[in-house]
């Protein structure tokens, strides 16, 4: 595929901060303070070559590097859970063009259009990775080299998703999910999905696509023990 001279291919993540719209309508002042803290935390993310833009309850993350955008979304999950929030979203890859003219930011991106469309289909607190994104073997192998809690991506219920957990924020993530479910029982099914994901990680399940695992075993990259 040939791109225009001023257009590049990017990984684009479009995420929605769940529950933020309701909070802003019911407690604007209190939610604004949370929003400011959330934004400040995002601005301090120590991940190079990643751009993050936040407006209202939406967060746009872009990078030319898949590993870096996954790390940024994991950090976004960490910040969200700290503030009793969860996110859902999608990661796609495609053409992305942007330019800032004074106070105005212009963006045109087929990847962003697809990310927004895929995000709308996500019915659980998760960031899905589009099926047409090729995930490097080294990202899957991190799961076996260092454990699930450092793996940036996991395969759960037939979807590749950004791992929302890390070594510092695992047990607490379950506690927060249970608290949020108690506060908003109408979203019980969504929280139960998140808790099932937590349980699968705690059980140290393989959590990579069966076809990828079969190829690793066939090629001798991994062996059964």
**Residue 153 belongs to domain with CATH number:** 3.30.70.1230
Residue 2 is assigned to a structural domain of this protein: no
Distance between CA atoms of 131 and 155, rounded to whole angstroms? 11
Q: What local confidence, expressed as pLDDT, does residue 1 receive?
A: 46
Q: What local confidence, expressed as pLDDT, does residue 7 receive?
A: 66
Q: What local confidence, expressed as pLDDT, does residue 161 receive?
A: 98
Q: What local confidence, expressed as pLDDT, does residue 82 receive?
A: 82
Listed in sequence order, the residues at least 6 apart from 6 whose beta carbon sits closer than 8 Å to its beta carbon are 97
Residue-wise pLDDT for 32-52, tens only, equals 887 787 777 777 777 888 888
Residue 224 is assigned to a structural domain of this protein: no
Q: What local confidence, expressed as pLDDT, does residue 6 receive?
A: 56
Domain containing residue 155: 8-218
Query: How many distinct structural domains can be found in the chain?
Result: 1
Distance between CA atoms of 24 and 18, rounded to whole angstroms? 12
Q: Give the residue ranges of the chain where pLDDT is below 70.
A: 1-7
Closest by Cα among 218, 81, 71, 55 to 142: 71
Specify the 3-state DSSP secondary structure of 148: helix
The DSSP output letter for 127 is E
| pTM of this structure | 0.89
Residue 86 is assigned to a structural domain of this protein: yes
Q: What local confidence, expressed as pLDDT, does residue 90 receive?
A: 97
């Amino acid at each position: 595929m040939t791109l225009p001279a001023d257009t590049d291919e990017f990984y684009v993540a479009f995420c929605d901060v769940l529950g933020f719209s309701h909070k802003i309508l019911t407690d604007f002042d209190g939610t604004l303070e949370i929003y400011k803290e959330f934004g400040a935390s995002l601005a301090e993310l120590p991940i190079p070559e990643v751009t993050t833009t936040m407006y209202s309850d939406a967060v746009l993350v872009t990078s030319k590097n898949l590993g870096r955008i996954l790390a940024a979304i994991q950090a976004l999950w960490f910040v969200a859970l700290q503030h009793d929030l969860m996110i859902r979203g999608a990661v796609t890859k495609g053409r992305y063009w942007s330019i800032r003219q004074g106070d105005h930011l212009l963006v045109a991106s087929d990847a962003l259009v697809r990310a927004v469309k895929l995000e709308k289909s996500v019915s659980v607190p998760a960031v899905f990775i589009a099926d047409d994104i090729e995930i490097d073997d080294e990202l899957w192998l991190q799961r076996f080299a260092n454990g699930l809690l450092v793996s940036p991506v996991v395969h759960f219920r037939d979807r590749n998703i950004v791992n929302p957990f890390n070594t510092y924020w695992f047990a607490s993530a379950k506690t927060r999910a249970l608290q949020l479910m108690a506060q908003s029982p109408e979203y019980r099914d969504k929280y139960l999905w998140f808790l099932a994901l937590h349980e699968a990680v705690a059980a140290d399940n393989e959590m990579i696509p069966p076809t990828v695992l079969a190829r690793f075993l066939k090629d001798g990259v991994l062996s059964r023990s």
